[in-house]
Amino acid sequence: MVQTMPLRYGMNPHQKPARVMMEDGDLPFDVLNGAPGYINLLDAMNSWQLVNELQTALELPAAASFKHVSPAGAAIATLMNEAERKACFVDDLELSPLATAYARARGADRMSSFGDWVALSQPCDEATARILRREVSDGVIAPDYEPQALDLLRRKRGGSYCVLRMDPEYRPQPMEQRQVFGVVLEQRRNDALISADTFSRIVTQNRSLSDEAIRDLTVATVALKYTQSNSIVLGHNGQVTGVGAGQQSRVHCTRLAANKSDLWFLRQHPAVFEFQFADGVSRAEQNNAIDVFFLEDLTPAEQAAWEQAFEVVPQRLTAEEKRAWLDQVRGVVLSSDAFFPFRDSIDRASRSGVKAVAQPGGSANDADVIQACDEYGMVMAFTGLRLFHH
C-alpha cells in the first residue's frame, strides 16, 4: 500500500501539487512539529545518511549542517578549545558531546549555514536544542528527542520549526530510482562504506598517516559522499573546515574549499576576539562582519556599511599578517570525489595546511600529482572509490 504525505509545494512555490510517498511500507520518519517542504526532505534524507555513517565509522556523536542538498559543515564530537568555542559562537554555553558536534558542523562556515537543515546521529538533548533555538535554521532530523529539547524546538519560529524523528532501524532497498523529464533512471544506491581501510593504499614517499589524519579523512570523505559533485572537502580536528561543491572544474572546487577552510582558521585569530560590536547588532550580522573583516578591496559603500556593525572599528589585518597566521596551520586533510587531472589542486591545498590527501586515483597524470605531494611532504592515499553525487 502506498503511503503519501502532501507537501506545500515542490522545489519552488509554483510547482504544485507535491507530495512524498513510500510505495511499500510506512515513511521512515515522523513529523513531530512543523511541515517539511520538498527541499527540506532532500536535505533531511541526505544529511541523515551522512551523520549515521559518521557515527557508525567513528563511534562518536555526529552532526551536519545542510544547505541545498550539500553539507555546509559536518563533524563528530571532538573536544573544542576556547578559540574554537568562540569562533563557533558557543563559548557561553555548556556543551554535551552531541552539541559539540553540531557547534563544529555549524561553526565552520556560519554564513553558508544560515537557514540550515540539521541532522543529528543521536537523540537531540537539551544542550543541542539550545544552540538550535537561537540560530536561524529550517529544521532538524534525529532518531529521537529528549522532552525538554522537543519543547524548546516546538517553540522555535513561532511554533513552525520543522522537527522530524527518523527511524534508526530503517534500511532502504538496494536499488534506487529517480525520474527526470519523464525518464526513470535506476541504479544501486551508493552503499560504499568508509573506514580506515579506505586509506590504506598510500602512493607517496611520505607514508605516515596518523590516527588523527585517518579520523579526519573519514569525516571529510563521508561528507564528500553526500556533497553535490564535483566536490572537494577539507577537514581538521574531527570536522569539515571547507566544502567546495557543485563546480565543473576540480581546481575551482579546491580553491573554494580551501578558501573556506582558511576563513575557519582566520576566525580564530586573536584580533577577532577583541571586536566590540555596536548595540543591537544581531548574531548573524556579527558573523557576517567577521567574514568581511578578512576580505580585501571593499568599495567605500561596503566599507561604510561594515563599519556600522562596530562600536570601535577594528584595524584590518595586512595580507602578511593573515599569511603568517595561516602558515601556522598544520594537519589539514583533503578528500576528493574523483581523481585530480592536474597538480594545480595540490599546489593550492599546500597553502592551506593540507598534509594528507585522499582521492580515487586513475588519472593519466597521477604521476605528476604524486610528485606534487612529494614536493610538499604530503601523504596521499588512492582509495579507488569515486564518490560522485548528483
| Contact by Cβ (8 Å): 259, 242 | yes
* Residue 190 appears among annotated catalytic residues: no
Residue 213 sits at the vertex; the CA angle it makes with 212 and 214, to the nearest 5 degrees, is 90
C-alpha cell at 347: 599546489
Q: Tell me the CB-side half-sphere exposure of residue 22, using CA atoms within 13 A.
A: 12
Closest by CA position to 96, among listed 63, 73, 72, 66: 63
Which of 40, 46, 67, 355 is labelled catalytic? 67
Q: Which three cell numbers stand for residue 266?
A: 582566520
Taking phi first (over 0 means left), then psi (-120 to 50 degrees means alpha), and beta for anything else, what does residue 31 get?
Answer: beta
DSSP state of 189: -
3-class state of residue 260 by DSSP: helix
68 in catalytic set: yes
Spatial distance between the Cα atoms of 121 and 232, rounded to a whole number of angstroms = 23
* Catalytic site residue from 230, 322, 355, 389: 230
67 noted as active-site residue: yes
For residue 271, which of 307, 240, 314 has the smallest C-alpha distance? 314
Secondary structure E strands in the chain: 3-7, 18-22, 29-33, 62-67, 70-76, 116-120, 137-142, 162-166, 175-180, 183-188, 231-236, 239-245, 276-277, 310-312, 332-336, 354-359, 379-382
The CA distance from 243 to 257, in Å, is 4
Residue entry with cell 534500511? 171
Phi/psi of residue 290, nearest 5 degrees: -65, -45
Three cell numbers written together for 214: 585517518
Give catalytic residue positions. Answer: 67-68, 230, 390
